[in-house]
Amino acid sequence: MAISAAAATLVVMKIHPDAQLGHQQFLPGTAASMFASPRPRAARPTRLCVVGAGYVGLTAAACLAEAGHTVTCLEADPGRLALLKAGRIPIVEPGLAEMVARSRQAGGLRFTDEVEEAIEGTGYALLCVGTPPGIDGKPDLRQIGDTARQLAAAARSDLVLIVKSTVPPGSCEALEILAADAAGPDVRVPVVSNPEFLRESRAVADFFAPDRIVVGADDPELGRDVAALYPAGCPILVCDRRSAELVKYAANTFLAVKISFANEVAGLCERLGADAGRVLEGVGLDARIGAAFLGPGLGFGGSCLPKDLSGFLATAASVGYEAPLAAAARAVNGSAQEAVLAKLELALDGVRGRRLAVLGLAFKPGTDDTRDSPAVALVRSLAARGGVLSTCDPLGRCRELPADVFSDPYRAARGAEGLVVATGWPEFAQLDPVRLRAEMAGTVLVDAAGVLRGQGWREAGFSLYGVGWGLPSSLHPVVWPPITWALPAAGGLSAA
């Protein structure tokens, strides 16, 4: 398992010379090179096993095969496996289907549900199975525990388990104990943390041009070894396992805090008659802050941010540490949804019995993923309050939705008294106000995604409300008592 000299020169990292568990120095790499064509290759092509063919696993399997490795992807779900073996993929990700097809044809990627077949001839298994939230908000680690046991029990020679799934700090150590119990005599199954940071809808691009790859290993040589599996040029941080695990939780918690802060500013803007779009644009233009994740709206959702924020809080609680900032981000997120509901209730004088349209189901544009989507939660809340719902999403689908689902947004809007844009798809930004007005029975439009600005909506007869903008100015209270804008002789401002 020793790293080759070539890989060592290609991988951009530095290891603290004298620390087994030391925090390692991070050096930026040449991310731009990741966009080069042909795609960057792994320095040392090898045989790999990837477990789980979801957003993370299928992307990793296809991209690692594209980078030159020979990959066997182990998938337990019979429906998913049948689809993959038939040459189709179970998720929507730009470029992924083509890449899977190419690698399968070239013999670099195959799918199986047989553990022994998946790990035959390989020293590495990348674990990309789900770690969903349990009922108490703590992560449910049963899938990954089972996976570690199965792989260890089937291993006939040393096998490194590389945990890409998001897990609470300490998990890799626990998995290593589980794996050691299950493994046969003379078989070593060390566990390395390698959290995944891909963004759905740009997963392939993120794989080849990541902001960073984090590898947590208590044996630095093993860490370097795992880092060398990735294409040359990726910026890599190697550290101890608990730190690597916490990087993932902390990064997603920070993004959640940023979104909640944007929603808090938006709420203040509504009360001041300021425009949250401009305010947050102005804030985000500060290079120290950045514009990403500063959009107000229905709040954060998806399969990662809410779950990882809860995991962060559960981890803190488990060691008796209070994390009030993270807790506040979660509370503010709940209020974001409530604020949109309240707007609609106010504008329509109640939603019971009213026909309503919600445009968007996916948790963000560009993906088919509706897991923990704020848009879906909005549909359910409105239905629970007695609204009669119709909805539309270009890709997202959801089972047992209390709404009629249409493929055409104008059809979904037909007869609606109020409409909410819940997901910021470009398709919704291009809607024609006059045509939409002709379809709808009412005029209330709530743009929770911030995509309908400045397009003649009011001219078409709509009352348009945004998040942090669009309330009539008569609603804005006078905030300060009148003051004299002149310095009195004694100095300081005085109230009139």
For 315, half-sphere exposure in the C-beta direction (CA atoms, 13 angstrom radius) is: 25
Q: Please, are residues 368 and 91 in contact by the beta-carbon 8 Å criterion?
A: yes
Q: Which of 63, 172, 239, 304 is catalytic?
A: 304
Q: Which of 200, 240, 270, 372 binds ligand NAD (CB under 6 A)?
A: 200
Shortest spacing between CB 370 and ligand NAD, in angstroms: 12
Q: Which of 196, 225, 372, 417 binds ligand NAD (CB under 6 A)?
A: 196
Q: Which is nearer to ligand NAD, 247 or 416 (CB)?
A: 247
Q: Please, are residues 465 and 446 in contact by the beta-carbon 8 Å criterion?
A: yes
Shortest spacing between CB 379 and ligand NAD, in angstroms: 22
- By the 10 Å C-beta count (0-12 exposed, 13-18 middle, 19+ buried), 27 is classed as exposed
Shortest spacing between CB 52 and ligand NAD, in angstroms: 3
User: Which H helix or E strand runs over 161?
Assistant: strand 160-163
User: Which H helix or E strand runs over 447?
Assistant: strand 444-447
Is residue 146 at the binding interface for ligand NAD, with CB under 6 A as the rule? yes
Q: Which is nearer to ligand NAD, 131 or 333 (CB)?
A: 131
Is residue 77 at the binding interface for ligand NAD, with CB under 6 A as the rule? yes
- From the list 13-21, 49-57, 215-223, 448-456, the region that binds ligand NAD by CB under 6 A is 49-57
Q: Which is nearer to ligand NAD, 24 or 165 (CB)?
A: 165
Q: Which is nearer to ligand NAD, 65 or 128 (CB)?
A: 128
Is residue 63 at the binding interface for ligand NAD, with CB under 6 A as the rule? no
In angstroms, the CA 131 to CA 494 distance is 59
Helix, strand, coil shares, percent, the chain, to 5: 40, 15, 45
Q: Say which DSSP state 18 is in.
A: T
Q: Which is nearer to ligand NAD, 125 or 420 (CB)?
A: 125
What's the CA dihedral at 236, 241, 244, 249 to 10 degrees? 160
Is residue 93 at the binding interface for ligand NAD, with CB under 6 A as the rule? no
Site for ligand NAD in 374-413 (CB under 6 A): none
Which residue from 197, 231, 194, 207 is spatially nearest to 95, judged by alpha carbons? Answer: 207
Residue 12 β-bridge partners:
235
Is residue 165 at the binding interface for ligand NAD, with CB under 6 A as the rule? yes
- Please say if 304 is a catalytic residue: yes
Shortest spacing between CB 422 and ligand NAD, in angstroms: 19
Q: Please, are residues 157 and 123 in contact by the beta-carbon 8 Å criterion?
A: yes
Is residue 55 at the binding interface for ligand NAD, with CB under 6 A as the rule? yes
Q: Please, are residues 96 and 57 in contact by the beta-carbon 8 Å criterion?
A: no
Neighbours of 486 (CB within 10 A): 7
Shortest spacing between CB 73 and ligand NAD, in angstroms: 9
Q: Which residue number is nearest to ligand NAD in terms of Cβ?
A: 54
Q: Residues 109-138 vs ligand NAD: string with x where CB under 6 A? A: -------------------xxxx-------
Which residue from 173, 178, 195 is spatially nearest to 143, judged by alpha carbons? Answer: 178
Residues near ligand NAD (CB under 6 A):
51-57, 74-77, 80, 128-131, 143, 146-147, 150, 165-166, 196, 198, 200, 303-304
Positions annotated as catalytic residues are: 304
